[in-house]
Amino acid sequence: MTELDKIYSPTEIEGKWYKTWEENKYFRATMDDEKPNYTIVMPPPNVTGVLHMGHVLNNSIQDTLIRWKRMSGYNTLWMPGTDHAGIATQNRVERKLAEDNLTRDDLGRDKFIEKVWDWKNEYGGIITNQLRRLGASLDWEKERFTMDEGCSESVKDIFVKLYNDGLIYQGEYMVNWCPQCGTALADDEVEHSEHKGHMWHIKYPVKDSDIEFVVATTRPETMIGDTGVAVNPNDERYKDLIGKMVILPLTGREVPIIADDYVDMEFGTGVVKMTPAHDPNDFEIGKRHNLEIMNIFTPDAKMNALTGKYEGMDRFQARKAVVEDLEKEGYLAKIEDHNNKVGGCYRCNTTVESRISNQWFVKMESLAKDALEVVYNGDVKIMPKRWEKVYYNWLENIRDWCISRQIWWGHRIPAYYGPDNHLFVATSDEDAAAQALAHYGKEVELVQETDVLDTWFSSALWPFSTLGLPEEKELERFYPTNTLVTGADILFFWVARMVMMGMYEMKEIPFEHVFLHGIVRDELGRKMSKSLGNSPDTLELIDRYGADAIRFTMIYNTSQGQDVHFSEKLIEMGRNFSNKIWNVSRFVLMNLEDFDINSVNKDELELELVDKWIFSKLNRASKKVNEHLDSFTLDEAAKGAYEFLRGDFCDWYVELAKTRLYNSEDEKSKKTAQYVLWTVLEEGLRLLHPFMPFISEEIWQKLGAKGETIMLETFPTCDETLVDEEAEASFEYLQSVVSALRNIRAEINISPAKEVKAILRTSNESEIKTLENNKTFLTKLAKLETLEFGDVAKPTGAGFRVVKDSELYVPLAGLLDPEVEIKKIEAQMVKIEKDLAKVNGKLSNEKFTSKAPEHILERERKIQKEYQDKLDKLTENLKAFK
């Protein structure tokens, strides 16, 4: 065995061990038929990304699960990869070009794509290297990228298959348009937030009449694109005006008055302006009534040539100018404050526009039906379960998915146009040319679609596209995967679509469990962001505290599905725990110099109460940790490991073992203590490893355990034969005695180093036996000068506590203030009286006693007796003081 360094320095051990693990291929999944498989595909971070606290939480959870399963005898695959992040990556490269006063159009498509690949090759590996710093045990040999050859082939294959099955179509529809990114967005890529705004009431004169309609709008600049006004056909106020024309203010254009049931007669004036080119509802109504579609915006949301004097203005500048002109010309009836929800681009937060555009769509109804069914029947389990309702609601009300994007970086849509715009959809240029030859009877020039696919389209194929190439036997072995760990915020973007595509292509679910964790927020509850300046430098935190401390802190403080309110103070708990484990392990190793675990003859050992107790607690902890990992309550699993190692082992067993280690007269007791220390520490490190891989490996190696690495050792399970309830009860009694003695000392400021006398009056045979067998331990641990117990005389002027069936006294002649002690006893009595009253109330309630099972009643009667006995003893002691 080798001694540990005096000071725990995580930076010195973490890099060393990760390099060793990776070089020895310990993370590699095998094709071993004898082991069950366990697979996680990691949510691919954007290739533009750097490690932030959300990644830390997400990957710490995944790594804990994968290390646990690996140690539990599974053939594990944790699939790494990155996402090409179409819009984000293109924006990044375009900003870099702008530094040289260049645009993508200056380069042309092919040259620009080359630049993006150059950027990806230079910077795209940053986050994967940072994940190594965190200790993520990913099978790096299988690392994938959504635009690598295999994934790209899968994208083309699925697109063509969906198209041929009639599930992909092209059409001119109203879409969400981001003026900043210059592309269409799917409905779920628009984030709505409430904004303070106004409602402008505008007068629309009816032609050849003195009547003026008053129309309310939150976007007065769009009125220039109005091509009608609508009323409800049942509205008696306007029946005679249906079919007539109104004069559009500022433009003088005449637009018709139409009737449609969509109009709410009770809302406002019951008259609605129709702008079919810039509102999805108006677009649908306009189609029903053949209204003109008049687009007044350029793609970057400026007013176009159809707007006359407003041409070239930004939409918000135009709003101000239009309102001023309406007021000047007498068309503005009034302005009211109005809060409304405004949609913003999920990438850049720019306010989106509704825009008519020719796009590609996926029909979602049949795909959503299959995705609903597998969650309804429990094949796919979403945790926390409350998110199932959200999942159902979204899929039951789903709209077709706009999958085309007007950018250059991404999977170019595999569709080709002939000379007469005839469409050919094919997985390759050669296949498209063959289709064209068959169609035209001659070779023709084809032009490929310029749009690329939504990034989420390729991500939806991730669970099988990553496994399908180069060897399909991996797909057969590892699909469906077992667990998906991701944030609830991409339940629709990604999770639901993976379920759809898995069922469509593979006819199987893509994963069995979906574990949705919360968002990491700051102490004020705000989402972390660079703009707010509340997002810490994760690598700097790892440098300062160590990856183990951060990992453990995040898991320990993350209840299932709840957001994490992060502060640097939280990490101090993880760091303190690391230091505690290190220092106690160092002490143990220093006292095992003459000990060889391989030469121990267990028959020569003699286990004492404390040994039986720690083995029992170890096995209970192993059971608890396994159960909580299995149910995805990782915070409780971490607490189980923490409470055992920090409390039971470090604070109690090691302290008690010191008496035996330093006792050279009893060699058997010393050897037994050494054996138990080594065994419990070794198994405890294995219990800790999934949460804190680096420190557990370092100490485990120093222990001289057999094996190459702790990560390939067996994860502890519960040996029921070592669970000893009697030993636990006896030792818990000793713990209570020690705690009570320490409390008495603390309350009257007796130095912890000063020895005191203690008297325990009890007739409980079990307690007497425990005291007899552990008198030496108790005397040393509690710093006692003398210890009397059993049927002994009750002293006067003593500190007093009730411990189980024992009356504990510490004679404090000259040190005790009787009045203070009386107040303490009375306070203790008040609390016990309240507790006793609750139990008495239950047992005197006929409804409770008639319905409660006998074992419940027996438990309550036992509690009642315990409270009454304590109260009687306190009452008697109080009389002695008075």
Question: Angle 856-862-865 (CA atoms, 0-180°, nearest 5)?
Answer: 145
The burial of 844, by beta-carbon neighbours within 10 Å (0-12 exposed, 13-18 middle, 19 or more buried), is given as: exposed
Strands (E), 293-448: 332-345, 353-362, 381-383, 401-402, 404-405, 415-417, 423-425, 447-448
C-alpha span between 747 and 726 (Å, rounded): 32
For the residues of 680-724, what is the DSSP string, one character each? HHHHHHHHHTTTSHHHHHHHHHHHT-SSS-GGGSPPP---GGG--
3-state per-residue secondary structure call for 427-474? CCHHHHHHHHHHHHCCCCCCEECCCEECHHHHHCCHHHHHHHCCCHHH
Position 274: which residue type?
Answer: M
C-alpha span between 40 and 147 (Å, rounded): 20
Identify whether the C-beta of residue 296 lies closer than 8 Å to the C-beta of residue 306.
Answer: yes
Query: Closest Cα partner for 370 from 540, 510, 530?
Result: 510
Query: In Å, what is the CA distance from 241 to each residue of 12, 212, 236?
Result: 83, 11, 10
Strand partners, 190: 345
Query: Closest Cα partner for 407 from 362, 454, 448, 343?
Result: 454
Q: Is 530 annotated as a binding residue?
A: yes
Query: Closest Cα partner for 350 from 389, 312, 301?
Result: 301
**Number of residues that make up the chain:** 882
Work out whether strand 447-448 and strand 381-383 pair parallel, antiparallel, or are unpaired: unpaired
Return the CA Rg of the chain: 37
Query: Closest Cα partner for 228 from 241, 210, 211?
Result: 241
Which H or E element spans position 106?
Answer: helix 104-107
C-alpha span between 543 and 546 (Å, rounded): 6
For the residues of 742-789, what is the DSSP string, one character each? HHHHHHTT--TTS-EEEEEE---HHHHHHHHHTHHHHHHHTTEEEEEE
Identify whether the C-beta of residue 874 lies closer than 8 Å to the C-beta of residue 832.
Answer: yes
Identify whether the C-beta of residue 577 lies closer than 8 Å to the C-beta of residue 642.
Answer: yes
C-alpha span between 535 and 49 (Å, rounded): 14
- CB atoms closer than 10 angstroms to residue 667: 10
Query: Closest Cα partner for 767 from 819, 818, 810, 807?
Result: 807
C-alpha span between 371 and 385 (Å, rounded): 16
The first and second tokens of residue 668, run together, are 């058997």
The first and second tokens of residue 797, run together, are 């002027």
Identify whether the C-beta of residue 476 lies closer than 8 Å to the C-beta of residue 102.
Answer: no
69 Cβ partners below 8 Å, 6+ apart?
38, 76
Spatial strand order in the sheet of 228-231: 245-247, 254-259, 228-231, 272-274
Q: What is the DSSP letter of 653?
A: I
C-alpha span between 294 and 598 (Å, rounded): 86
Position 326: which residue type?
Answer: L
List, as residue ranges, the binding site. 530
List, as residue ranges, the binding site for ATP. 530
